[in-house]
């Protein structure tokens, strides 16, 4: 009788602990229902390009699959052959909303326009209390790391430029001090570099090929890709 009582008590204890763990997990998940942002890698494209073939899934649509499972998901479209800095600036604007600001110093140094496209924003309320999950494939993981670093540390060059040019506005991205990302997930990202850089002579050809493909698969017939 005593052994039976102990078994019943043990079973009840395990059941209660398991139930409590499930409640705790459910509460944690509910508090962690942040938007998921998918970030393309090198030579990637947006949802409305490449004749509807999805970068995330091909003929299968990973974004919509996740949505059907109750998640808030957005697919970013950052430059297919741009630098990680430029892609991070584009990703920031696509999430928060507003016009892409590549930075006054950066734009002058690399000889391109300071401002890019304007976006309505995947998460206009993006903040310390309304974070996001970032998922990057290949170079997309590097882009995410660049974004997280800029959010946290800002840019010394851009901040210093504004000090010397008080009439110039600075993007909040370059101010630093922000912890807006809850998690970073990378898939096949070359965190330690890639031997592709050794074949850099091929990049102009690859770039032209991608621009042409994007123009055919996009919404217009112009032979350009911005």
Q: Which of 46, 38, 207, 204 is nearest to 117 (CA)?
A: 46
User: Does the pLDDT value for residue 170 go beyond 90?
Assistant: yes
Contacts of 132 (CB under 8 A, 6+ apart): 34, 35, 36, 37, 95, 122, 123, 126, 180, 181, 182
Q: Which of 210, 212, 216 is nearest to 79 (CA)?
A: 210
CA distance linking residue 94 with residue 22, whole number of Å: 35
Rounded to 10 degrees, the C-alpha dihedral 146/151/153/154 comes to 90
| Stretch 16-37: mean pLDDT | 61
User: Does the pLDDT value for residue 139 go beyond 80?
Assistant: yes
pLDDT: is 199 or 128 the higher one? 128
Q: Which of 87, 74, 85 is nearest to 41 (CA)?
A: 87
pTM of the complete model: 0.78
Q: Which of 104, 111, 99 is nearest to 159 (CA)?
A: 104
Q: Which two tokens stand for residue 116?
A: 């890019």
pLDDT at 135: 99
pLDDT: is 162 or 28 the higher one? 162
pLDDT: is 33 or 91 the higher one? 91
| Stretch 31-46: mean pLDDT | 93
pLDDT at 51: 87
pLDDT at 217: 46
Fold of 34-195: Rossmann fold (3.40.50)
Least confident of 5-14, 68-77, 148-157, 167-176: 5-14
**134 sits in which H/E element:** strand 132-137
Q: For 142-158, what is each residue's pLDDT tens digit?
A: 999 999 999 999 999 99
DSSP string, 79-113: -TTS-HHHHHHHHHHHHH-EEEE--HHHHHHHTS-
- ∠ Cα 184 92 28 (to 5°): 40
| Stretch 177-183: mean pLDDT | 98
Query: Are 225 and 209 in contact, with CB atoms under 8 Å apart?
Result: no
């Amino acid at each position: 009788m005593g052994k039976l009582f102990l078994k019943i008590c043990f079973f009840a204890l395990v059941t209660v602990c398991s139930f409590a763990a499930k409640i705790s997990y459910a509460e944690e998940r509910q508090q962690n229902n942040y938007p998921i942002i998918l970030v393309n890698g090198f030579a990637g494209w947006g949802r409305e390009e490449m004749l509807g073939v999805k970068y995330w899934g091909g003929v299968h649509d990973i974004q919509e699959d996740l949505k059907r499972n109750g998640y808030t998901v957005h697919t970013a479209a950052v430059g297919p052959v741009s630098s990680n800095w430029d892609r991070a600036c584009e990703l920031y604007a696509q999430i928060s909303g507003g016009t892409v600001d590549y930075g006054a110093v950066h734009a002058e140094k690399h000889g391109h326009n300071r401002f890019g496209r304007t976006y309505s924003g995947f998460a206009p309320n993006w903040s310390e209390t309304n974070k996001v999950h970032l998922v990057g494939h290949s170079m997309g993981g590097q882009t995410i790391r660049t974004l997280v670093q800029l959010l946290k540390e800002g840019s010394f060059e851009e901040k210093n430029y504004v000090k010397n040019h008080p009439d110039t506005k600075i993007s909040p991205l370059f101010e630093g001090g922000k912890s807006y990302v809850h998690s970073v997930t990378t898939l096949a990202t070359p965190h330690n570099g890639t031997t592709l850089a050794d074949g850099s002579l091929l990049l102009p050809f690859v770039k032209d090929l991608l621009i042409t493909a994007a123009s055919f698969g996009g919404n217009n017939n112009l032979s350009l890709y911005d």
